[in-house]
Homo-oligomer: A and B are copies of this chain.
């Protein structure tokens, strides 16, 4: 199978290469980057010396490349312009940006501050959360790969909402992300001198992932869903930890509920009762690791959920979706253990 990557100079681009470069069932045909066109990939990313023997292509030069599937690892607003031509040629697309995630075009345009370029395609796009949509993904031409926060938060709330045992009008997601979630662009607030040895919340008034998460949660239940979503910036490289709060409306065995819901999921791991997952336990892996608590036996359920924002929250889930779309085993290339410590 022939694979292309559009927009390869950011963290999701290099992460796709890390996950794909050892596979002999795939050929990476091109990786494009306007800024890096002509430079060797391994001069920008020396970690890939000996693993990736490619130069970055100019995006304008790859329009005619013969591929089976193309990843968009581009800023928001690019895939919606370029994906249609690829799809027309029968090339499958996994978009790691937000262009096809929200079904409500008006909401998308409000949060992303752009006019959507191909609203008609949005209805055909499948939201790439395999734990919800495995079968539709396998048959999709266009997959909207979920955001990093939305993956963790949705997987954490899913068993509770499907079971209908929590008050869905007052859900809370207190989420903390490593700094790669902010991308590889030069930025003062993301300097080591600014962000290390410190911690803060951001975008408390409203973050773009809020409508994506609420859209996903509403698919899990027939009731109203209102979520308070508070993102925070962690002084770590990779990792998201979501601490989720929901008021219980029924008395069920939460541990059993979570274990049964995820028993057959290869990339969701429910820890034993009483456990506290660490972000490092999934560093570099496609795993989302969960624990569920009920402090003091009161009526608030607390779910702890961790993922690597660049893997299960981005490139790894994209590869998982690609595996489904191209008929490979779902877990192929995604089973290495975490780098710990």
Contacts and interface: CB of A to CB of B under 8 A. Distances in A.
Interface of A: 11, 14, 17-18, 21-22, 45-51, 170, 172, 174, 176, 178-180, 182, 184-188, 190-202, 204-206, 210, 226, 228-230, 232, 234-239, 241, 243, 245, 247, 269, 271, 274-285, 287, 289, 293, 295-296, 298, 300, 302, 304, 306, 335-341
A170 B285 CA distance: 36
A304 B174 CA distance: 12
A228 B199 contact: no
A199 B176 contact: yes
Given A18-B337, A274-B205, A340-B14, A192 B196 contact: yes
B200 A279 contact: yes
Nearest to A48: B337
A201 B304 contact: yes
Contacts of A269: 49-50
B237 A201 contact: no
- Most interface-central of A21, A210, A284, A285 (chain B CB within 10 A): A284
B187 A186 contact: yes
Contact of A201 (B51, B276, B335): B276
Contact of A226 (B186, B206, B298): B298
